[in-house]
Amino acid sequence: MRNHAIILPMSTDLIQRLRAAGYKITPPRLAVIEVIQREGEHLNPQEILEQAQALHAQTGRATVYRTLELLTQLGIVRPIYVGDNGPTYIRADGAHHHLVCSRCGRIVEFDACAADSMGCELESRFGFHITSHLLEFYGICPQCQTSDASQSQ
């Protein structure tokens, strides 16, 4: 699902943050950041590359990977690994809850989560300040169940 935008600081804030950390602001890097801000979560590097190239044709695969690594180091995005397709990227803060189809790799996000109250308990018990969590359930999505049922008839 790509209807949840990654919530990043405004581009100017992010640009200032990158410059303060000593990184150059190049048109290809800006294209990658624009795609991430505009398109939302669960983008894989190939999707980011294709969309960034539409914004700036000289954006290369290495720039995408370096920018994703940089944004991960700065705590802005984080990779998640669901299915066999390699990493997709989500915002690093907040809570992320997913249902993942083990067959087709479909990812469904959901909001209701008992882990929020568990987080409060864990903070109290261990003195940890929790800034985010990731909860994933794996199973078979309705479409794959329907496909299985029709194939067995």
What crossing angle do the helices spanning 61-73 and 27-39 adopt, rounded to 10°?
Answer: 70
What CATH number is associated with residue 114? 3.30.1490.190
User: Quick one: 15 and 73 in the same domain?
Assistant: yes
Q: Is the pLDDT of residue 1 over 70?
A: no
Q: Which has more confidence, 6 or 145?
A: 145
User: Quick one: 75 and 105 in the same domain?
Assistant: no
pLDDT digits over 78-96, tens only? 888 766 667 888 877 777 7
Residue at 51 is within a domain: yes
What CATH number is associated with residue 64? 1.10.10.10
Residue at 4 is within a domain: no
Q: Is the pLDDT of residue 147 over 90?
A: no
User: Quick one: 76 and 97 in the same domain?
Assistant: no
pLDDT digits over 50-73, tens only? 999 999 999 999 999 999 999 999
Phi and psi torsions of 80, nearest 5° = -125, 150
Q: Which residues neighbour 151 within 8 Å (Cβ) at sequence distance 6 or greater?
A: none
Model confidence at 107, in pLDDT bands (50, 70, 90)?
Answer: confident
Number of domains in the chain: 2
Residue 83: what pLDDT? 63
HSE value, Cβ hemisphere, 13 Å, CA-based, for 121: 5
Q: Is the pLDDT of residue 77 over 60?
A: yes
Residue at 106 is within a domain: yes
Minimal CA–CA distance to 120: which of 109, 112, 108, 128?
128
User: Quick one: 54 and 97 in the same domain?
Assistant: no
Give whole-number Cα distances, 75 to 79, 81, 93, 131, in Å.
11, 17, 8, 11
pLDDT digits over 9-53, tens only? 446 778 888 889 898 889 999 999 889 888 666 788 999 999 999
Amino acid identity of residue 151, one-letter, is Q
- The whole domain housing 134 covers 93-145
Distance from C-alpha of 97 to C-alpha of 142, rounded to nearest angstrom = 18
Residue 135: what pLDDT? 83
